[in-house]
Amino acid sequence: MKQKLINFFELTGLTWFIPIVRLCTGDDPKEQIGDLSRQIALPLAAMVSFFMIWSYCSTKIKTSVGQLPGPSYVLSQAKAMWATHKSEKFNKEEFKTNEELRISVAELIEQRQKTTSLETKKSLTSKINSIKAVILKHLSQLENEIKVNQAIVDKAEADKKAQVTAMTTQLNSLKKFVFDENNKAVLGPDGKPKLSDESLSKLANINNRRVAVFEGNLVRIYKSSENTAKSLIKKIEKIDTYYQQDIAYQAALNKDELEKKIISNKKKLDAFEKQIFKGKEYNSNGSIVDYIKLSITTVIFGFCLAAGIAIPMGILCGLSPSIMTALNPLIQTFRPVSPLAWVLITIQIIDGIFVGDNALTGEILKNTFLHAGITVALCSMWATLSNTALGVSSVDPDHMNVAKVLKLNWFDRIFKIVIPSAIPYIFTGLRITLGVGWMVLIVAEMMATSRGLGWFIDQEYQNNKVESLANIIVCIFIIGLIGAVLDRIMSVFQKLVSFNDDVAA
């Protein structure tokens, strides 16, 4: 068990877990703690100094949109992004619930319109009315949520106000004012001494922090969901009224007199029923989690495409020096081409093939997805290609001798000797490919407007606010982390397929 854990951490490169495991299983604590402090303390110290330097610089550097966001600001932005994601999720769920309710009502009404049997009509009517109870139950849940969240919002608002007041007093007492060359305090438009830029940015930081975004958004979402549900009830009631009236009129004795009423009643009933049939599209820009998901899907798609092209081509190049000689100039020419150039041509070609914005069905298989994915493949496949070619062409002569002594035929030589012995090279290439692909992806998404992380960064950039700048910094960390995780995964594969132990970490 212990050895298994240690092996696992060694394989994944998370070596700083090893002393912890050893410590927990009762190995010499002194040695392990020494190990641990070396493995964890040093990176930790580096990390802390990085954040300190960043924090310091952020007070000094002014960007075109305002003060450079410091770590704490970025952290609060990250929280806000997470909160946005959560409220987005709630929004979607609420939308779905309401839509489902509408659809079930609409189905019942449709059935009622079609049937001629009075009995069935009656039972359907009572079913329609019973849905009201379901909606009411949903409403009471919502009311509860609104109450709870409103309280949180109120408290957060109050906290924020208190914080701003405290900060203002603090700043005033520190007297961080602006002085002119005669050392006289400069007055602001309100007649009071003007605060220095640094003080202002501190204040702005508080104001900008979206303290109550999450809860505020939730209240908004729940309220709109409540409205939708309520209006659905109203519609059902209206329909019922007109329906009952219709029955009454139809059954009346003096039909001629009622003719007008019957017609106008029928029209109203139809109008309301039509409203129920009309569905809504869920419309949203998505949240950070959606962007991450799309980015990862895209990079995996691009990666598989790259591998699918580069490995067979690399094998051919490695096997035949003439193919290598033929293709080499092309490879050398295309390899250094920037993703920016590839993406543009990819966009035009793909749009030419799949005419229209969304010729392929499915939510992610839009043209923009293909643009970004293919660009990733085009830019990243070269490492795998050249590594595969190298691996195939540099088969250990001893292994080739084995093939010769055994008189293996061509097919066996390729599949039993050449390709297996090239596998470690291929995986080294694939690891580089995935790394390059992930890097290229961000640019490709920006250009292709595929709604992943790259697109989001671009959107935020267009926003031109300090807040957006902080969002971009959050994205940079996310991109870095995902890239590191992808690289770890590939390095595990690389270690698993290697025959020797001396593979780079």
Partner 1 sequence: MDKNRYLDLSNLSKVYETKKGPFVVLEDFSLQIPESEFVCLIGHSGCGKSTILSMAAGLNDITKGSVAVADKEINGPGPDRGVVFQAPSLLPWLSAYDNVMLGVKKVYPHASAKEKEEIVMHYLHAVGLGGAIEKKPKELSSGMRQRVGIARAFALKPKIMLLDEPLGMLDALTKYELQDLIVKLHAEHKLTTLMVTHDVDEALYLSDRVIMMTNGPKATLGDILINDLPRPRDRQTLLNHPDYYPYREHLISFLEEQEELKKKHA
Please, what is the minimum distance in Å from the beta carbon of residue 397 to partner 1? 9
Residues present in the chain in total: 505
Q: What is the C-alpha to C-alpha distance for residues 486 and 378, in angstroms, rounded to an integer?
A: 19
Query: Judged by CB, which is closer to partner 1: 347, or 417?
Result: 417
Provide the token pair at 418: 């050449």
Query: Judged by CB, which is closer to partner 1: 115, or 409?
Result: 409
Q: What is the C-alpha to C-alpha distance for residues 478 and 460, in angstroms, rounded to an integer?
A: 15
* CA-to-CA dists, residue 412 to 288, 322, 390, 406, 427, angstroms: 49, 22, 20, 10, 22
Residue pair 288/85 in contact (Cβ under 8 Å)? The answer is yes
| Residue 86 touches partner 1, criterion: CB under 8 A | no
Q: Give the DSSP H/E element, type plus range, for residue 261.
A: helix 255-277
Provide the token pair at 187: 């007055």
Please, what is the minimum distance in Å from the beta carbon of residue 503 to partner 1? 12
Pairing of strands 66-67, 62-63: antiparallel
Please, what is the minimum distance in Å from the beta carbon of residue 390 to partner 1? 17
From the list 269-277, 321-329, 406-414, 447-455, the region that binds partner 1 by CB under 8 A is 406-414
Contacts of 414 (CB under 8 A, 6+ apart): 315, 319
Among 75, 233, 323, 408, binds partner 1 (CB under 8 A): 408
| Residue 399 touches partner 1, criterion: CB under 8 A | yes
| Residue 3 touches partner 1, criterion: CB under 8 A | no
Please, what is the minimum distance in Å from the beta carbon of residue 289 to partner 1? 40
| Residue 281 touches partner 1, criterion: CB under 8 A | no
Q: How many C-beta atoms surround the C-beta of residue 429 within 10 A?
A: 28
Please, what is the minimum distance in Å from the beta carbon of residue 342 to partner 1? 35
Query: Judged by CB, which is closer to partner 1: 336, or 397?
Result: 397
Please, what is the minimum distance in Å from the beta carbon of residue 420 to partner 1? 5
Query: Judged by CB, which is closer to partner 1: 122, or 404?
Result: 404
DSSP secondary structure, 73-119, as one string: HHHHHHHHHHHHHHHHHHHHHHHHHHHHHHHHHHHHHHHHHH---HH
SS (H, E, C) 165-197: HHHHHHHHHHCCECECCCCCECECCCCCECECH
| Residue 401 touches partner 1, criterion: CB under 8 A | yes
Q: What is the C-alpha to C-alpha distance for residues 344 and 371, in angstroms, rounded to an integer?
A: 8
Residues 378-397 that bind partner 1 (CB under 8 A): 396
Query: Judged by CB, which is closer to partner 1: 356, or 397?
Result: 397
Among residues 344, 347, 380, 381, the alpha carbon closest in space to that of 366 is found at 347
Query: Judged by CB, which is closer to partner 1: 136, or 406?
Result: 406
Here's the x/- map for partner 1, 105-134, by CB under 8 A: it reads as ------------------------------
Query: Judged by CB, which is closer to partner 1: 362, or 410?
Result: 410
Query: Judged by CB, which is closer to partner 1: 366, or 495?
Result: 495
* CA-to-CA dists, residue 221 to 3, 8, 228, 397, angstroms: 51, 45, 11, 69
From the list 90-98, 115-123, 420-428, 467-475, the region that binds partner 1 by CB under 8 A is 420-428
Q: What is the C-alpha to C-alpha distance for residues 142 and 149, in angstroms, rounded to an integer?
A: 10
Among 1, 181, 500, 505, binds partner 1 (CB under 8 A): 500
| Residue 398 touches partner 1, criterion: CB under 8 A | yes
First-last CA distance in the chain: 24
Among 79, 223, 230, 416, binds partner 1 (CB under 8 A): 416
Among 62, 96, 274, 404, binds partner 1 (CB under 8 A): 404
Please, what is the minimum distance in Å from the beta carbon of residue 492 to partner 1? 17
From the list 247-255, 272-280, 382-390, 405-413, the region that binds partner 1 by CB under 8 A is 405-413
Q: 235-251 burial by CB neighbour count: b if 16+ within 10 A, else e?
A: bbebbbebbebbeebee
Query: Judged by CB, which is closer to partner 1: 203, or 400?
Result: 400
Among 421, 449, 459, 463, binds partner 1 (CB under 8 A): 421
> How many amino acids of this chain bind partner 1 (CB under 8 A)?
18
Beta partners for residue 62, in sequence order: 67
Query: Judged by CB, which is closer to partner 1: 278, or 407?
Result: 407
From the list 22-30, 225-233, 398-406, 468-476, the region that binds partner 1 by CB under 8 A is 398-406
Please, what is the minimum distance in Å from the beta carbon of residue 436 to partner 1? 27
Q: How many C-beta atoms surround the C-beta of residue 387 within 10 A?
A: 25
Residue pair 424/438 in contact (Cβ under 8 Å)? The answer is no
In the complex, the residues that contact partner 1 under the rule CB under 8 A are: 396, 398-399, 401-402, 404-408, 416-417, 420-421, 423, 499-501
